């Protein structure tokens, strides 16, 4: 790495170089208005319009770098935090990289509850998480650490069950495995070094955090415009209270108004149906670029 280019004044953020978190992490950074070059061979990037250096590393190394203060910030899966338990500060859930750590067994296995795993061999890349889970459930199992392809170990006769991450569930299905129970859910998290939050960098961290929150908030809302007869305004306000309250303006047509508001993505369709039923017309929906709260 070219040390001369790295400045101690800049904030440093470690992200996954190449993997399941990379694409959405880069998208988040770009949507937060950060300008930088990134291509696969790069080890780090300097932002042109923010005092930030982005370091591209393996996901397993991110929490350690943040804990040791090699970088101020990192974006890493909650699964890694649960497994390694680093002393870092969680700043923000980023709402991507969703997956779950689960216990799975071969489909034909007669194991039907986790209690049946007593005395059995379980392979995993998450030994600490697995050990904790089985201990909490009073089960004594032999945990074998495997660094990759955990899903094939039951077929190879190495283990009777596995503890592994799953998202779509297709890997489990392809390997004739069935999920017995979930251990925890995970998503990408922005974490910070404890000291980065107390020294002069705090201001920069806060600035970046506000930008990320703005991107996330915008993603979870839609901007909606509609026309409606004036006399149903009260009912519409109940259906869409908006961030504070909806913007209402009169239309040229007497007795009609135009309403502008925001609707939460997760309740979007049911809200639009309610609006139509109440008498709203010409409903226009727009994506929101950012919301600064």
String of contacts with ligand PRT for each residue 253-272, x by CB under 6 A: --------------------
Nearer residue to ligand PRT within complex by CB, 22 or 193:
22
Contact region with Zn ion (CB under 5 A), list: 57-65, 131-139, 221-229, 253-261: 57-65
Q: Check binding of 53 to Zn ion (CB under 5 A).
A: no
**Which residue's CB is nearer to ligand PRT, number 80 or number 114?**
80
Our finding on whether 59 is near Zn ion (CB under 5 A) is: yes
Q: Does 187 bind Zn ion (CB under 5 A)?
A: no
**Interacting positions 82-121 with ligand PRT (CB under 6 A):** 97, 99
Residue 167 touches ligand PRT, criterion: CB under 6 A: yes
Dihedral angle over CA of 127, 132, 133, 138, nearest 10: 120
* Residues 195, 198: Cα–Cα separation, whole Å: 5
Q: Binding of Zn ion at residue 265 (CB under 5 A)?
A: no
Residue 14 beta carbon to Zn ion: minimum distance, rounded to whole angstroms: 13
Q: Is residue 19 at the binding interface for ligand PRT, with CB under 6 A as the rule?
A: yes
20 binds ligand PRT (CB under 6 A): yes
Q: What is the DSSP letter of 155?
A: T
**Closest CB to Zn ion among 24 and 60?**
60
Interacting partner of 175 out of Zn ion, ligand PRT, none (Cβ under 5 to 8 A depending on kind): none
| Binding status of residue 58 toward ligand PRT by CB under 6 A | yes
The order of strands in the sheet holding 161-166 is: 142-145, 121-124, 161-166, 99-106, 177-186
Q: Which does 168 bind (CB under 5 to 8 A by kind): Zn ion, ligand PRT, none?
A: ligand PRT
Q: Among residues 8, 168, 198, 253, which is the contact residue for ligand PRT, using CB under 6 A?
A: 168
Q: Does 54 bind ligand PRT (CB under 6 A)?
A: no
- Binding stretches for ligand PRT (CB under 6 A): 16, 19-21, 58-60, 77, 79-80, 97, 99, 151, 164-171, 186
């Amino acid at each position: 790495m070219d040390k001369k280019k790295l400045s101690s004044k800049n904030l440093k953020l470690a992200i996954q170089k190449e993997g399941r978190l990379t694409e959405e992490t880069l998208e988040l950074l770009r949507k937060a208005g950060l300008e930088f070059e990134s291509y696969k061979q790069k080890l780090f990037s300097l932002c042109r319009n923010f005092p930030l250096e982005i370091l591209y590393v393996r996901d397993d190394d991110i929490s350690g770098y943040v804990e040791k203060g090699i970088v101020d910030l990192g974006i890493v899966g909650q699964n890694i935090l649960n497994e390694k338990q680093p002393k870092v500060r969680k700043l923000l859930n980023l709402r991507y990289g969703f997956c779950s750590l689960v216990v799975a067994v071969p489909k034909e296995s007669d194991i039907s509850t986790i209690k049946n795993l007593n005395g059995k061999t379980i392979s995993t890349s998450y030994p600490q998480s697995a050990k904790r889970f089985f201990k909490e459930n009073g089960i004594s199992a032999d945990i074998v650490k495997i660094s990759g392809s955990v899903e094939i170990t039951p077929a190879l006769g190495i283990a009777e069950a596995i503890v592994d991450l799953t998202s779509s569930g297709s890997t489990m299905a392809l390997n004739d495995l069935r999920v017995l129970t979930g251990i925890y859910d995970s998503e990408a998290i922005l974490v910070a070094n404890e000291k980065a939050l107390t020294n002069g960098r705090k201001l920069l961290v806060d600035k970046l955090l506000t930008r990320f929150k703005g991107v996330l908030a915008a993603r979870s809302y839609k901007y909606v415009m509609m026309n409606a007869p004036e006399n149903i305004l009260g009912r519409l306000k109940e259906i869409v209270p908006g961030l504070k309250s909806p913007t209402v303006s009169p239309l040229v047509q007497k007795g009609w108004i135009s309403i502008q508001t925001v609707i939460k993505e997760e309740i979007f369709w049911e809200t639009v149906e309610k609006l139509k039923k109440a008498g709203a017309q010409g409903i226009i929906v727009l994506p929101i670029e950012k919301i600064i709260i």
